Amino acid sequence: MIVRPRPHWIRLLLVRRGSLVHRIYGQQLFIFVLSCAVVLAHGQLFLWKVTLNASPFSLMGISFAIFLGFRINASYDRYWEARKQWGSVLVEARNLTRQALTFVAPGRDVRPFVLGLVGFASTMRNQLREQTPTAHTEGLLPETLRLQLASARSAPALVLLWLGQWLRDCRQQKLLEPMLAHKMEASLDGLSLALGSCERIANTPLPFAYSVILHRSVYLYCALLPFGLVDSIGWMTPLVVTFVSYTFFALEALSDEIENPFGLADNDLALDAMVTGIHASLSEMLGDVPPPIARPNANFVLT
């Protein structure tokens, strides 16, 4: 996720990081070269004059704008839904920490339970990013549990199971009232719901056929556009067509990038920073020194 102050409007025109220029550079170069070739050939293709003007492209442009708008909205809905679910993980983790500190009898150390909540957030991030299940969980989860997670298909679900068993032990030892334990179980259910919702987003991409139709239509539109403009604007055709194609190609690339918001691309969610934030918040509630706040790197990117 790119986090930076808004630059001056002139610098904003020249920003490369996050502009997706590196992803669409090849397509832009192809369209520019094609436009130059069309201008040199005066709109002829194999000695046949392509009789196109700007009128049909105006109508098609409106249709493509609506089409791309739907695609980007569908991708952003997935992005924002994922962000809300991670926000609920923070809320439920704080609730469970507060309840553990106030509900459980003083004779039981609640630190393993609270650190287990951080471990849940870490394993949830690892699963969504298809990383090693136990990565960055040292000191958060018991070693016996970490060994079990190493070969698990759903490590966060097993961490939730361990947290539920911890509550059961407290209840059986008369350290936690049954009604209060039931209330804490409801917060564990909230964590499970957030996990399932994020898994739904990660495992259900947008229909591939929709992406194919959009991709083909955009390329065909941009490839034919020079033939419709060459007779009216001449040598300005490559510049205008390249600018128009930038809008279409960049929107398509952006929608493709945020369709899966759990990756490591510049515009994806900063899951590492979110896990660090959860760790810091719960550590403060325990009275510990919180870990350093995650900050953007030299390119203004949070991972």
pLDDT attached to residue 43: 65
Residue 47's pLDDT is 63
The pTM is what?
0.87
Task: Give dist(CA 145, CA 203) in Å, integer.
Answer: 26
Task: Please check whether residue 205 is in contact with residue 260, taking contact to mean a CB–CB distance below 8 angstroms.
Answer: yes
**pLDDT at position 130, please?**
92
CA pair distance 275, 117, nearest whole angstrom: 10
pLDDT (0 to 100) of residue 45: 67
What's the first-to-final CA gap in the chain, in angstroms? 6
What's 261's DSSP letter?
A: T
Q: What residue has token string 């390249």? A: 242
| C-alpha to C-alpha distance for 153 and 89, rounded to whole angstroms | 20
pLDDT given at position 298: 62
Q: Which residues, including other chains, have CB under 8 Å from residue 106's CB and lie 6 or more apart?
A: none
Digit-by-digit pLDDT tens for the chain (303 residues) are: 777 667 766 676 667 776 777 888 888 899 999 889 888 887 676 666 666 677 777 777 777 778 788 888 889 999 999 999 999 999 999 999 999 999 998 878 999 999 999 999 999 999 999 999 999 999 999 999 999 998 889 999 999 999 999 999 999 999 999 999 899 999 999 999 999 999 999 999 888 888 888 888 888 888 888 888 888 888 888 998 998 888 888 888 888 888 899 988 888 899 999 999 999 999 999 988 788 877 777 667 778
pLDDT of residue 125: 96
Of 174, 144, 169, the residue nearest 158 (C-alpha): 144
What's the burial of 38, exposed, middle or buried (CB within 10 Å: 0-12/13-18/19+)? Answer: buried
Residue 69: per-residue pLDDT: 81
Give the helix ranges, DSSP H, for the chain. Answer: 9-14, 21-40, 54-103, 111-128, 143-149, 155-172, 178-203, 208-233, 237-258, 271-286
Long-range pairs for 209-212 at CB < 8 Å and ≥24 separation? 210/71, 211/71, 211/256
Domain spans, the chain: 23-52+208-255, 60-206+259-290
pLDDT at 266: 82
Nearest alpha-carbon partner for 175 in 288, 283, 99, 118 = 99
pLDDT, position 256: 86
Which residue is associated with the tokens 């033939």?
Answer: 227
Residue 43 DSSP SS3: coil
How would you class 269 by CB atoms within 10 Å of its CB: exposed for 0-12, middle for 13-18, buried for 19 or more? Answer: buried
Would you call 232 helix, strand, or coil by DSSP?
Answer: helix
